[in-house]
């Protein structure tokens, strides 16, 4: 399987879900995620779909409110992104 390359928006979404404590069973409202992103992009919905399809985030619908959370795989990818950034600094 070829390595997965995330877009800048995809990485921002993962990091923002992490910062909002959306991990595992503790999901965050998708509206809160949109508001917390530094720059909302037209590709947001598509990127969330890609991240969900890759298994990096889970999506649920609670009482008509869509929610998202990082999966264990999403956490691993986010950690790898952050490690790569640290290596670039060193």
pLDDT > 70: percent of the chain: 92
What global pTM score does this model have?
A: 0.88
Domains of the chain and any CATH numbers:
8-89 (1.10.10.10)
Helix 8-19 and helix 44-54, axial crossing angle in degrees, nearest 10:
80
* Neighbouring C-alpha atoms within 13 Å toward the C-beta of 28: 22
pLDDT band at 1 (very low <50, low <70, confident <90, very high): very low
Tens digits of residue pLDDT in 42-77: 788 899 999 999 999 999 998 888 999 999 999 999
């Amino acid at each position: 399987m070829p390595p997965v390359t995330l877009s800048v928006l995809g990485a921002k979404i993962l990091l923002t879900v992490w910062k909002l404590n959306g991990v595992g069973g503790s999901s965050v409202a998708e509206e809160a995620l949109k508001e917390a992103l530094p720059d909302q992009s037209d590709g947001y919905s598509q990127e969330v779909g890609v991240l969900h399809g890759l298994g990096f985030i889970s999506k649920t619908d609670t009482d008509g409110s869509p929610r998202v959370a990082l999966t264990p795989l999403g956490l691993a990818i986010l950690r790898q992104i952050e490690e790569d950034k640290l290596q670039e600094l060193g």
